[in-house]
Amino acid sequence: KNIQPTVFVIFGGTGDLNARKLAPALYHLFMDGWLPEQFAIIGTGRTVLTDEAFRDRLLEGINQFSRSGKANADTWKAFSGHVVYQAADVQDAAAYEPFARRIQAYAKEWGTQPNVIYYLAVSPDFFPVIAQNISKSKLSADPERTRIVIEKPFGHDLESAKELNQLLGHIFTEQQIYRIDHYLGKETVQNIMAFRFANALFEPLWNRNYIDHVQISVTEQLGVGDRGGYYNGAGALRDMIQNHLLQLLCLVAMEPPVNFNADEIRNRKVDVLRAMRRFTPETVRESAVRGQYGAGWMEGKKVPGYREEVESKPPSNTETFAAVKFFVDNWRWQNVPFYLRTGKRMHRSASSITVQFKDVPHCVFPTETAESWQQNRLIISIQPEMSIRLQVQAKRPGLDMMLNTVDMVFDYKGTYSNEAPEAYETLLLDTMLGDQTLFMRGDQVEAAWDLIMPILNSWEGRASQSFPNYSADSWGPEVAEALIARDGYHWFTLP
């Protein structure tokens, strides 16, 4: 692919995201030959560091978090030659002058103006001031060559998301703005579209006539850890449902695009968000439940409850678990429930989408299990298992005519010998290529906020009396089971 000479300017260069995700991803892109010959990474942060000290930090991150383990000495040497550090107080417009100087020096050395990607891996409080200072210092004067990448969270609610969109819109064109939702870069998530739209088999069934309901579940064993400062002001609904889980829902529910153009795909996805049934204070109560973990034992170790972890006074009302029943009010999905759930400190880490098909109209066979006999189910496992399985009924071998459920499985491990790239590799490559398909457009972010605002308002206006209501290492609060059991279902988990 034709990738232009590129300079990455990473704000938050000394931070966690760079060490864990960005540096390992850039290193892998380099190793696999995806970076142009002429590229540079300028890390920036408040701390004063030499280039050498900064490189050492990145190497530590790569050694610890890269998918291929410890860096190869020669590859690292070649890669790190492209990495420099520039300390800067990002709130001070004058501190941006050295970036301009460095970029011009690269332009001169390379004999061409490079593309420049400003990556904001910083706390959201700094998004506005960095964007403004980039503009003041004329660093974004060329809209064809400059791009800005904004990490999540994009806004704290609908209003702040709109404000941020407006502010960015005064400085950059929409084609320059790359809003990250790293779930969209995951291999298995990208495959949802391939699976749906490159196979004639499923699309005819993909509607209310054949699909009974859909479940999207993202559970994590990890607790809030040292991210309490951010998380306690966010909660599971903002942190996961507003972005990652609703994006998965869009991929399942969207209409077929006419082509693979970024805006065509994003139009089809935003159509889904706009079609989603709005909540009222009454329907919030029926459709959305929340939880907060208490202490418990995980893998033989005692783990503290959320309130102990964040040490908040008064006790925190932040949810670490959320489950919501959504509807998409259009022809395809009328009255098909979409159940979404996510939580921390759950029994297992697993992300999956389960599409439950309707039963046959009349069944003439005896079956192995009398109760809750689900005939056809499609399970898209996003992580850690990467697979798609179709559950069908088959005759069990034997002299009697007895059916049981069997799995037709496509799993990545058994099918492909190459390792899947990390989401950030895909996303960073796409920012270089100028492909916005896997990034959030401004209207998508706002539509997702708009949808969940009634739930946020209701929860924030009414402290939960029952927190903590699930213990670490469980499957979440009882209210979540009740939410789905009322409709006659259970949350599905892979054995």
Task: Look up residue 316 and give its DSSP letter.
Answer: P
Q: Which is nearer to ligand BG6, 75 or 221 (CB)?
A: 221
Establish whether 51 is an annotated binding residue: no
Q: Which is nearer to ligand BG6, 245 or 275 (CB)?
A: 245
Establish whether 162 is an annotated binding residue: no
Residues 118 and 148 sit within 8 Å (Cβ to Cβ)? yes
Establish whether 46 is an annotated binding residue: yes
Least Å from the CB of residue 74 to ligand BG6: 30
Residues 152 and 184 sit within 8 Å (Cβ to Cβ)? no
Least Å from the CB of residue 93 to ligand BG6: 30
Regarding 425 and contact with ligand BG6 (CB under 6 A), the answer is no
Residues 343 and 296 sit within 8 Å (Cβ to Cβ)? no
Site string (148-187) toward ligand BG6, x via CB under 6 A: ----x-----------------------------------
Residue facing ligand BG6 at closest CB distance: 239
Q: How many CA atoms lie within 13 A of 199 on its CB side?
A: 11
Helix axis angle, 73-80 to 51-65, nearest 10°: 140
Q: Which is nearer to ligand BG6, 152 or 268 (CB)?
A: 152
Six-digit token pair at 180? Answer: 């990250």
Query: Which residues, 6+ apart, have CB-to-CB distance to 312 below 8 Å?
Result: 232
Residues 391 and 374 sit within 8 Å (Cβ to Cβ)? yes
- State the Cα–Cα distance between residues 20 and 67, nearest whole angstrom: 10
- State the Cα–Cα distance between residues 69 and 334, nearest whole angstrom: 47
Q: Which is nearer to ligand BG6, 139 or 452 (CB)?
A: 452
Least Å from the CB of residue 386 to ligand BG6: 13
Q: Which is nearer to ligand BG6, 220 or 473 (CB)?
A: 220
Radius of gyration of the chain (CA): 24
Span 226-245, contacts to ligand BG6 by CB under 6 A: 239
Least Å from the CB of residue 217 to ligand BG6: 12
Establish whether 435 is an annotated binding residue: no
Span 207-226, contacts to ligand BG6 by CB under 6 A: 220
Active site residues: 244
Six-digit token pair at 428? Answer: 């960073």
Least Å from the CB of residue 383 to ligand BG6: 6
C-alpha distances in Å from residue 378, one per residue of 31, 171, 196, 375, 412: 36, 44, 12, 10, 16
Residues that bind ligand BG6 (CB under 6 A): 152, 220, 239
